[in-house]
Amino acid sequence: MNNIVIFDTTLRDGEQSPGCSMNLAEKLEVAQALVDLKVDVIEAGFPIASPGDFEAVQAIAREVRGVTICGLARCNDKDIDRAGEALKVAEDPRIHVFLATSAIHREFKLKMGKDEIIQRAIAGVERAKMHTSNIEFSPEDAARTEPDFLCQVVEAAIKAGATTVNIPDTVGYATPAHMGGVIRDLVNRVPNIDKAVISVHCHNDLGLAVANSLAAIENGAGQVECTINGIGERAGNCSLEEIVMALRTRSDYFNKTTRIDTTRLVPASRLLTSVTGMEVQRNKAIVGRNAFAHEAGIHQDGMLKNPTTYEIMRPEDVGFKKTDLVLGKHSGRAALADRALALGYHLEGDKLQEVFEAFKKLADKKKEVYDSDIAALIEKRASSASDRWKLVRYELRLEADGIPSATVTLSRGDEKQTDTFFGGDGPLDALFRVIEKITGIQVVVRDYRVHSVSQGKDAQGESTIEVEYDGRVFRGRGVSTDTVEASTLAFLNATNRVLMSAGQPPQVSYRDTV
**Is the same domain home to 358 and 310?**
yes
Residue 355: give the domain boundaries: 293-379
Considering the domain boundaries, does residue 506 fall inside one? no
Considering the domain boundaries, does residue 470 fall inside one? yes
Considering the domain boundaries, does residue 505 fall inside one? no
User: Can you give the CATH number for the domain in which 249 is found?
Assistant: 3.20.20.70
**Is the same domain home to 172 and 156?**
yes
Domain boundary among 276, 302, 327: 276
Considering the domain boundaries, does residue 223 fall inside one? yes
- Residue 109 is classified by DSSP as I
**Is the same domain home to 331 and 347?**
yes
User: Can you give the CATH number for the domain in which 449 is found?
Assistant: 3.30.160.270
Confidence label for 31 from pLDDT (cuts 50, 70 and 90): very high
**Is the same domain home to 251 and 305?**
no
**Is the same domain home to 134 and 177?**
yes
Mean pLDDT of the chain: 86
**Is the same domain home to 224 and 362?**
no
The model's pLDDT over 334-372, given as tens digits with 9 standing for 90+, comes to 877 876 776 556 777 877 888 888 777 777 766 667 665
Whether 5 shows a pLDDT value over 70: the answer reads: yes
Confidence label for 382 from pLDDT (cuts 50, 70 and 90): very low
**Is the same domain home to 262 and 307?**
no
Domain boundary among 241, 276, 311: 276
Own/partner pairs for 365-371, CB < 8 Å, 24+ apart? 366/328, 367/328, 368/326, 368/327, 368/328, 369/327, 369/328, 369/331, 370/327, 370/473, 370/474, 370/475, 370/497, 371/339, 371/343, 371/472, 371/473, 371/474, 371/501, 371/507
**Is the same domain home to 272 and 414?**
no
Q: Which amino acid is at 63?
A: E
The model's pLDDT over 463-502, given as tens digits with 9 standing for 90+, comes to 889 899 888 888 787 877 688 998 999 999 889 888 876 5
Considering the domain boundaries, does residue 88 fall inside one? yes
pTM of the model: 0.68
Considering the domain boundaries, does residue 251 fall inside one? yes
**Is the same domain home to 315 and 405?**
no
Name, in order, each residue with C-beta under 8 angstroms of 422's C-beta and a sequence gap of 6 or more. Answer: 399, 403, 404, 405, 430
**Is the same domain home to 365 and 443?**
no
**Is the same domain home to 80 and 171?**
yes
413 in Cβ contact with 432 (< 8 Å): no
How many structural domains compose the chain?
3
**Is the same domain home to 209 and 266?**
yes
Backbone dihedral angles phi then psi of residue 202, each to the nearest 5 degrees:
-110, 135
The model's pLDDT over 278-322, given as tens digits with 9 standing for 90+, comes to 888 878 998 887 776 654 566 656 655 776 776 778 878 788 765
Considering the domain boundaries, does residue 288 fall inside one? no
Considering the domain boundaries, does residue 513 fall inside one? no
